[in-house]
Amino acid sequence: KTVVHKINIDEEDIKYIGSGEAPGQVLNQFSMDEYKGNFRIATTTGHVSRTGEATSLNHLYILDEDLEIIGSVEDLAPGERIYSARFLGERAYIVTFKKVDPLFVIDVSNPKEPEVLGYLKITGYSDYLHPYDENHIIGIGKETRGGDEHFSWYQGIKISLFDISDVENPIEEAKIEIGDRGTDSEALYEHKAFLFDKNKNLLVIPIMLAEINESRYLEQSGEVPDNAYGDVVWQGAYVLNINENEISLRGKITHDDNQSVENRGWYYYGSKYSVRRSLYMDDYLYTISAGKIKANNLQNVEEIGGVDLGYKEDYYPYYATG
């Protein structure tokens, strides 16, 4: 179960109000919110297993101001677990996954009687959901392929735009896939690495790009297996165009102009030139790594300039305790 504590803070006056609980485990901060005095939470009970003996179930609970459960939707997607969730006003969106990705659209306008309005099943899954507008939501995660009846092999990064204007029949309106199996992005687990502006049709995320050398497998077996990993070939930021109908590549930015072999693979995450954040001001897009800040034109992504931050390779994080 998950225990929720309620604390009242009025300047320096801090009072403990009480606690409540809901069955299951919560995934992250986006699986919880407060709306019109009620607390809403999405949880998973049980466990997921590749053997087919999974006991997992997924739920949404609504607690009143006294943290008592007053409404719920229970037992969604047996055998799967929640990969992402988002509460947006009177709607909730939950993505579960094991073999395919169901996106559930849930009406939470009546806190005592929440109900599933519709759902969409597609390959892959979303680790993070972000609102685009009242009728669309962005999902970023991984594509999947192959496997058996109980699981699929992760592939590259997939960014989807879901149209939920028809709540009973949500659709994947647009998508883009980046790289092969082994491709990764910090935006999958850190929303601060995700830059989006609807008015500028802009979406920017860091990407560690992996690509499969197909000839290696074609010579051996004549086909590329679904579980084949790609070799890491590049790290930087993907700058994407996004609108209601399409997601496309605007350009790519890297801080490691040499893209040397020794910087590839896991070392990219510790490299001083690993792009981790982005922001824009006026018509300039700035990307940030430990060793550099680079400015590019926001529209055509042409490089304008950069500054070296003086990062040394022997710098290591120092953690103070006390």
CA dihedral in degrees (82, 44, 119, 149; nearest 10)?
A: 70
Q: Which residue has the higher pLDDT, 148 or 206?
A: 206
Give me the pLDDT at residue 264, please.
54
Q: What percent of the chain has pLDDT over 90?
A: 77
d(C-alpha 248, C-alpha 301), whole Å:
14
Neighbours of 112 (CB within 10 A): 10
Q: pLDDT of 144-177, one tens digit each?
A: 988 776 678 999 999 999 999 999 999 999 999 9
Give me the pLDDT at residue 318, please.
58
For residues 179 and 238, the answer to whether their CB atoms sit within 8 Å is no
pTM value is 0.89
Give me the amino acid identity at 319.
Answer: Y
- What integer best gives the mean pLDDT of the chain? 91
What is the DSSP-derived secondary structure letter of residue 96? Answer: E
d(C-alpha 107, C-alpha 115), whole Å:
5
Q: pLDDT of 211-244, one tens digit each?
A: 998 888 877 777 888 899 999 999 999 999 999 9
Half-sphere exposure of 276 (CA within 13 A, CB side): 13
Q: pLDDT of 252-277, one tens digit each?
A: 999 988 755 444 544 556 688 999 99
- Residues near 222 by beta carbon (within 8 Å), at least 6 away in sequence: none
